[in-house]
Amino acid sequence: MFNEFHHQVRGRGHELDGTRGQDRTQYLSRGGVQAICLADGAGSASHSEFGAQAVADEGCAALVEQFEQLVASVDGGQIKIELLERLLAKVNMLAERHGRDVHDFSSTFLGVAVSGDKFLGAHVGDGVIGYLKDGDLRVISAPDNSEFANQTTFVTSHGAAGSMRLFRGSLQGVTGFILMSDGAGDSLFNARTRQLAAACEKLIVAVGAAPARLSQNSKHKNQWRKFIDVRVRNATKDDCSIGVFGRPVASQRERSGSAKTS
């Protein structure tokens, strides 16, 4: 089992104009499968924070409930279609309940699930997913921003299934994972070099080294939240969200493995 940490904070821009934060995160552990997800609501969508929460919640449920099926399937394209359909069904239900257009709830989606000696993940839109493997900090999935930094793909976008990135692989040699929205990426990801900041490795290691089953108000989690709330948040006007899996030091016996992208 991995230790986990996830956190979201309203950006300075939203605080200044009195609007709600639009990043959301979630974590779920069930039946030996752990999933951590985050979603960044579209700034142009009126109810995107609700859509982001729905996508993060449903993403965790889907990755946990369908882990074995998703890992074993040889049809990556079909997996993307089915996963996106499940996320969209949740957002559509939300839109109908509020009497709004589905695009009012647009958000990105980033998720990683782990179980046994396998991991899988999916990514729609901007933000970054990376991992620490054999002591090397690597980007698994970089932002999808087309030709403009402020444009990306959302779960509700036409062709989202085609742009979704799906990745699966072995946990051998993997110390942990980090997921972040584009706001957090302003300080934790170098868009020019496509590299993650050294602070990402430190955070993964710290989460793994902490005592298991930390309470939400534990000293460790409060320290990590402070890092996001101050250091990361001050580098951008955007909302910031982050999710981390860290393998406890005692269980880091695996040596090497590889990620396969579909």
Q: What is the DSSP code string of 128-196?
A: EEEEEETTEEEEEE----TTSTT----TTSTTHHHH-EEEEEE-TTEEEEEEE-HHHHHHHEETTTTEE
pLDDT at 144: 86
Name the strands in the sheet holding 165-170, side by side, starting at the edge strand that comes first in the sequence.
Answer: 23-30, 33-40, 109-115, 118-124, 165-170, 259-261
Q: Which of 2, 1, 3 is nearest to 215 (CA)?
A: 3
Contact 174, 133 (CB under 8 A): yes
pLDDT at 150: 60
Degrees to nearest 5, angle at CA 53 with 50 and 57:
140
Is the sign of the CA dihedral 107, 241, 76, 55 positive or negative? negative
pLDDT at 254: 43
pLDDT at 17: 87
Contact 38, 56 (CB under 8 A): yes
Report how far Cα 167 is from the mean position of its chain's Cα atoms. 13
The full DSSP string for 15-27 is HHHTPPP-EEEEE
222-235 in b/e form (b: 16+ CB < 10 A) is eebbebbeeebbee
Which CATH number is 3-252 given? Answer: 3.60.40.10
Whole-angstrom Cα distance, residue 22 to residue 41? 5
Kindly give the confidence (pLDDT) of every residue in the chain, 262 residues in length, as a single tens digit, with 9 standing for 90 and above.
Answer: 999 999 999 999 988 888 889 999 999 999 999 999 999 999 889 999 999 999 999 999 999 999 999 999 999 999 999 999 999 999 999 999 999 999 999 999 999 999 999 999 999 999 999 999 999 999 999 998 744 456 799 999 998 999 999 999 999 999 999 999 999 999 999 999 999 999 999 999 999 999 877 767 788 989 999 999 999 999 999 999 999 999 997 665 444 445 555 5
Report the number of secondary-structure helices (H) and strands (E) in the chain.
8, 13
pLDDT at 54: 97
Q: Which amino acid is at 140?
A: I
Q: Domain ranges for the chain, please list them.
A: 3-252
